[in-house]
Structure 1
Amino acid sequence: MRHIFFIAGVAGAVLASGVAFAGDAPIPKAVRGVWAAGGKCGGTTVTFTARTLQHKGLQTQAAYFSPNDSKRGYGAIHYVEEGNVDNFEYAEDKGLLIYNPEGHGMGKSVIYKRCR
């Protein structure tokens, strides 16, 4: 009987996380690749794939794109894992990313430009 509850609990957790992620979009193709703070490609970089980001050489983490999630009117890239408030706004019209290390409207934003 314990096994049934365990399996049901695991299945519920998997479904719940899948549902939360299913409504979020993959990172746009135009963003995928390597970007650098201030356009200095030998410095602090972030690398994007369709569903991940790797920032400052740290471990790659799952990410998603929220097309209407920016006070500036841009879409934003967020970590899937809760607790990470930093995000990258994609300013498509300007061809750059705006990194918000403390979340939207908090702290000083950093401009990232494409390396490759």
Structure 2
Amino acid sequence: LIAREETFGPVAAVLPFDSEEEVIARANANEMGLAGYIYTDDLRRAMRLSERIECGMLGINTASFTGPPIPFGGWKQSGLGREGSRHGLAEYMELKYVCFGDLAA
């Protein structure tokens, strides 16, 4: 259940794996996608996994990565849009495109 549900609480799950493909498949095989965590000493592995894991926030070698300047939000059933940061402000803005032709006429 801990790998398929959005668990809120002080819990740490350690799931063994045999390949990166297995990790990515397990991480993405659920309806949630708020946050993910990667612990590794391999920068290339961290970059590969961070590109493929489907979540809104990803901590690499840290569990503490939120705060006012951070765009907080998830993917999938964990929510759309962001709170906080300049990205969160965009949720309250209306975009308008204005195009001018030649004014010298």
Q: TM-score range by the shorter chain?
A: under 0.3
TM-score (norm 1): 0.21
Bigger helix fraction: 2
Q: Using structure 2 for the length normalisation, give the TM-score.
A: 0.22
Which one has a bigger Cα radius of gyration? 2
More strand by share: 1
